[in-house]
Amino acid sequence: MEYTREEVEKQAVSLAKSISGLREEITIDSEFRNHLGFDERELGDYFNNIEDIYGFEFSDEEADSLYRIKNLTIRNVSDYVYRYLIK
């Protein structure tokens, strides 16, 4: 199945809303740690759900590089996923 960038972004935001349980506005530029308050477990859950949705697995190196982004946003992850899907 082919996905548009917009579909990937919408799914990424929806998943963050689901995991965070926040009722406030969550956008594609929301930061996982600073805005959403995700800890490592919640971020791991987020990555695992993304893998399940799109049928691929982040390598340990890829996940580590994303974890190391200080102000990791939903957009960072959705951009990575979209680039993976259009390969």
Asked whether the beta carbons of 58 and 35 are under 8 A apart, the reply is: no
- What distances in angstroms separate CA 79 from CA 23, 24, 27, 65, 85, one per listed residue? 24, 23, 14, 14, 10
Structural domain range at position 15: 5-85
pLDDT mean values, one per 10 residues, the chain (87 residues): 92 94 86 92 94 92 90 96 90
CATH of the domain at 11: 1.10.1200.10
Question: In the chain, how many domains are there?
Answer: 1
pLDDT of 4 reads: 94
- The pLDDT value recorded for residue 12 is 96
For residues 50-62, b (16+ Cβ closer than 10 Å) or e, as one string? beeebeeebeeee
Q: Rounded to two decimals, what is the model's pTM?
A: 0.89
Identify the burial level of 37 via C-beta atoms within 10 angstroms of its C-beta, where 0-12 means exposed, 13-18 middle and 19 or more buried.
exposed
